Amino acid sequence: MEFRHLGRSGLMVSEISYGNWITHGSQVEEDAAFACVRAALDAGITTFDTADVYAGTRAEDVLGRALEGQRREGLEIFTKVYWPTGPGRNDRGLSRKHIMESINGSLRRLRTDYVDLYQAHRYDYHTPLEETMEAFADVVHSGKAHYIGVSEWKASQIREAHALARELRIPLVSNQPQYSMLWRVIESEVIPTSAELGVGQIVWSPMAQGALSGKYLPGQPPPAGSRATDEKSGANFIARWLTDDVLTRVQQLRPLADQAGLSMAQLAIAWVLQNRNVSSAIIGASRPEQVHDNVKAAGVKLDADLLKAIDEIVDPITERDPARTESPAERP
């Protein structure tokens, strides 16, 4: 495993981190979840990402129990706050009330006194940013989180939050966006702004929800048991990529992966890690062997000719519009 600084902070994270968005507490049984976490630890992964909303808070609980007995100082545990975690009006968003109650719930479920990174899971248009950042400052100053991050924020929002964080003397060090060969909306605005401010990217879905794994073939139904056939595992997220045009071009990447001595999944993960502003790429898994395969992308260097060849293949199907940084459904 290779390690990188999280933005310009002193915190080191594993190049590949383990996330449990659509697996723990929902898609896979607990024994399988524990096995995947053990595989991640065995592979040298020290960075684990979750969120209070995943599987209705169950994912945090499973991860907390899976990591019990590990040396806490040797791990970087990340979680997030924003999405609803209960039926009440204040059980969502980035109000002071929800943040202060949510951090306590997350720490209880994760069985830890602190998280290394506490992230705003989306931007809250209904709460003043000053209120949100002041609450985050109290979380940090109370020792319940070491660093603050955001997820899927636009460049202008990151800049404004970063300025407030400096005033409040707290370290806002990361953004967690979707990023892959097929989804590059952060490249024109978010990446340059983040690089300027010292904010690193912890990217999710480097394999485009599995579309870049190569297992989905044009003109054929999705393989039985794959994510595309399971509503609990995010079938709606991958659906946008399951067109014949996209899948035909993805298959054209296979000779390039073979040439580099990589699997299709490894090529996809290695590709996002070529971006210097990316601190870590999040992988998920329902089986330990997926972890063992994916971690082989750590430390891989792709040469300029290979990167150019990849661009030539995927450019017609790549989403680059910076306005897609957040989903319209998430706006007020």
Q: What is the pLDDT of residues 172-216, one digit of tens each?
A: 999 999 999 999 999 999 999 999 999 999 999 999 988 999 888
Q: Do residues 198 and 9 touch, judged by C-beta distance below 8 A?
A: yes
For residue 235, the model assigns a pLDDT of 53
The separation between CA 193 and the C-alpha centre of its own chain, rounded to angstroms, equals 19
For residue 328, the model assigns a pLDDT of 47
Mean pLDDT of the residues in the chain: 92
For residue 326, the model assigns a pLDDT of 75
Backbone angles phi, psi at 111, to 5 degrees: 55, 50
For residue 63, the model assigns a pLDDT of 95
pLDDT band of residue 240 (cuts 50, 70, 90) is confident
Over residues 64-72, the mean pLDDT reads: 95
Alpha helices, H only, the chain: 30-42, 58-66, 96-110, 129-141, 155-168, 190-197, 235-238, 244-251, 254-260, 264-273, 288-294, 304-314
What's the CA gap between 174 and 190, in Å, rounded?
Answer: 11
Note the pTM of the prediction, 2 decimals. Answer: 0.91
What's the CA gap between 313 and 214, in Å, rounded?
Answer: 14
Residue in 54, 82, 123, 179 annotated catalytic: 54
54 is catalytic: yes
Most confident of 51-60, 235-244, 303-312: 303-312
Backbone angles phi, psi at 126, to 5 degrees: -105, 0
Lowest mean pLDDT among 173-177, 219-223, 238-242: 219-223
